[in-house]
Amino acid sequence: MDAVSDIDEAARMHSQTLSSRSDLEHAEALLREVLVDDFERDAKADAGSLSRMLVHLVNMHQALSVSTDDQANVAKRLGDFAVNTTRMSTRNPEAAPKLDRLAHALRTASTRLAETATAPVATTTVAE
């Protein structure tokens, strides 16, 4: 019976990882939308910060595709990005709704990754 519960736990962890990656992809898409629609010609300093954030998001996504070892670090950085994006929304009232959506998506991705990173790792045992 332990083998079955271990397999169930591994499947749950895989599902959480896929959800976390989906959240990260969603945040990346929202960030691209904000950059294209609101910041390319305005707010140069914030546009530069968002552009660098996008590069980091792409790199994080690639790193998580290869290994889940850095999930806790990625989760923390996504949380930091959410805080910075919220601050930008106060400086850029016209883009505030999109920036707030982006901050929410970043927080969601951060939370899910943090939960996945702290969940116990299942090991599969073969019943004899």
Q: What is the CATH number of the domain that holds 33?
A: 1.20.120
- Could you give the number of structural domains in the chain? 1
Which pLDDT belongs to residue 121?
52
Which pLDDT belongs to residue 88?
94
Residue 123 domain-assigned (yes or no) = no
* Half-sphere exposure (Cβ direction) of 73: Cα atoms closer than 13 Å: 11
Long-range contacts of 40-44 (CB under 8 A, 24+ apart): 42/92, 43/88, 43/91, 43/92, 43/95
For each of the chain's 128 residues, which pLDDT tens digit applies?
A: 565 555 544 444 445 555 677 888 989 999 988 887 766 566 678 888 999 999 999 999 888 888 878 888 999 999 999 999 999 999 989 889 999 999 999 999 999 988 887 766 544 444 44
Residue 89 domain-assigned (yes or no) = yes
Residue 46 domain-assigned (yes or no) = yes
Residue 87 domain-assigned (yes or no) = yes
Residue 125 domain-assigned (yes or no) = no
Which pLDDT belongs to residue 41?
62
Angle among Cα 58, 27, 68 to the nearest 5 degrees reads: 55
Count how many residues are written for the chain: 128
Residue 114 domain-assigned (yes or no) = yes
Which pLDDT belongs to residue 123?
46
Domain region containing 8:
2-118
Total Cβ atoms within 10 A of residue 27: 29
d(CA 43, CA 27): 20
Residue 126 domain-assigned (yes or no) = no
Which pLDDT belongs to residue 38?
67
Which pLDDT belongs to residue 14?
46
